[in-house]
A and B are shown apart, each in its own frame.
Chain A
């Protein structure tokens, strides 16, 4: 029996100008087939204006179990948010 085909992750841009968003994955042996399969599977109702496919094995993910430690460096930097700052009484929005 043939081995499993390669898995590709599919990202769809719903409208020109917007970011590509992960939609799911497809099986395919090469990139053209991956694009065509993604079109048939994820854009049957005009959901897309552009599709990216990338082999799943090329994606590196952070570990959700380590997410606390991994994202810790941003916890104590409230000064990165505009709400950290006090505006003088009566000043207009900048």
Chain B
């Protein structure tokens, strides 16, 4: 199959499967995007894991544990999808450790109070859902199927976060202040999760042509903002953007300038927690090596016994 035929299949909304011919650049783009997505799920366990031992009630603790376990599961679905492109899990983890593969910048911010668990569920998972719902229609079969599975589980994450925010917003003045503070810190990084503006996003062209992405960064960001502003109003919190205004003509909210210098600074490793997140992942991976080796040795021994 050549590139023209490949594009015809894409244009006809046919899914591409692992054994099908695909252009090298398509494969590379997918490996980069899916692995970044997988690493984000896994690294994303850390800022929330930070609060498991300090959750304010047994109910909150059980929910947070279940959510963090889901993130691990979502990471594994995505690694599986990525491996179908001919790259091993070991190589993917190595790329993360070497800094060759990235993960979502949002997880390089610290979680300072319990309200941050609310803000992450509501805003970060909310943004992720908008992105993932769109990606259910991606052209690569295994990625698309992974997204369907993830979307089914993810809406609980957003609801639990919004519930925490709502509870705190109607609590004591101190609790409400904590909720507002969490919103203030997470709002801008959350809307920057969708990536650079379309005019500054060199890879968007191919990704749209190949239907890897189905909507541009700006379209997804606008969708998220339009959905979220009303949710903030309902619980009496204020989005920290003085330029936020309903635009009757567009049927959408106008919003202020994003600080892309800060965004790139964090992407390039200088955010508050970049070093800590990666160091923690490496440590867990290294300390688990003997377990992986033992499991392998045990499997070998059983084989010998069986034969």
From 27 to 47 in chain A, residues with beta carbon under 8 angstroms from any chain B beta carbon are 27-30, 33, 40-41, 44-45
* B149 to A, closest residue via Cβ: A24
Cβ–Cβ contact B295 & A4, under 8 A = no
The yes or no answer to B20 lying at the interface (CB within 8 A) is yes
Answer yes or no: A53 CB below 8 A from chain B CBs. Answer: no
Q: Is the CB of B298 within 8 A of A2?
A: no
Q: Which of B21, B66, B90 contacts A3 (CB 8 A)?
A: B90
Which of B70-78, B167-175, B178-186, B244-252 makes up part of the contact surface?
A: B70-78
Task: Give the residue of A26, A29, A41, A63 whose beta carbon is less than 8 angstroms from that of B298.
Answer: A29
**B2 contacts A by Cβ under 8 Å:** no
Q: Mark B37-79, 1 if CB is under 8 A from A, else 0.
A: 0000000000000000000000000000010011001001100
A30 touches which of B19, B70, B83, B302 (Cβ 8 Å): B302
Whether the Cβ atoms of A44 and B73 lie closer than 8 Å is yes
* New contact pairs (13) apart from A25-B80, A29-B299, A61-B19, CB-CB < 8 Å: A2-B289, A2-B296, A5-B89, A5-B292, A24-B77, A27-B89, A29-B295, A29-B298, A40-B73, A45-B153, A63-B19, A64-B20, A65-B20
Q: Is B1 an interface residue (CB 8 A)?
A: yes
Residues of B within 8 A of A30 (CB): 295, 298-299, 302
With a cutoff of 8 Å between Cβ atoms, the chain A residues found around residue B20 in the complex are 64-65
B-binding residues in A (CB < 8 A): 1-5, 7, 24-30, 33, 40-41, 44-45, 61, 63-65
Q: Which residues of A contact B94 (CB under 8 A)?
A: 1
CA distance A65 to B17 in the complex (A): 11
Task: Name which residue of chain B comes closest to A6, CB basis.
Answer: B299
Q: Give complex CA distance A43, B77 in Å.
A: 13
Contact A29 B76 (CB under 8 A): no
11 contacts between A and B (CB under 8 A): A4-B90, A5-B292, A5-B295, A24-B80, A26-B76, A29-B296, A29-B298, A30-B298, A33-B295, A44-B73, A65-B19
B296 to chain A, nearest CB (A): 5
Evaluate whether A1 and B1 lie within 8 angstroms (CB atoms) in the complex, with A24-B80, A30-B299, A45-B153 already known.
no
Contact partners of A29 in chain B: CB under 8 A: 295-296, 298-299
Q: Which residues of B contact A63 (CB under 8 A)?
A: 19
Smallest beta-carbon distance B131→chain A, Å: 21
A2 close to B302 (CB less than 8 A): no
CA distance A24 to B293 in the complex (A): 24
Which 4 pairs of residues, A with B, have the shortest CB-CB distance?
A29-B299, A30-B299, A29-B295, A4-B88
Measured between beta carbons, the chain B residues less than 8 angstroms from A40 are 69, 73
A22, chain B: closest CB distance, angstroms: 10
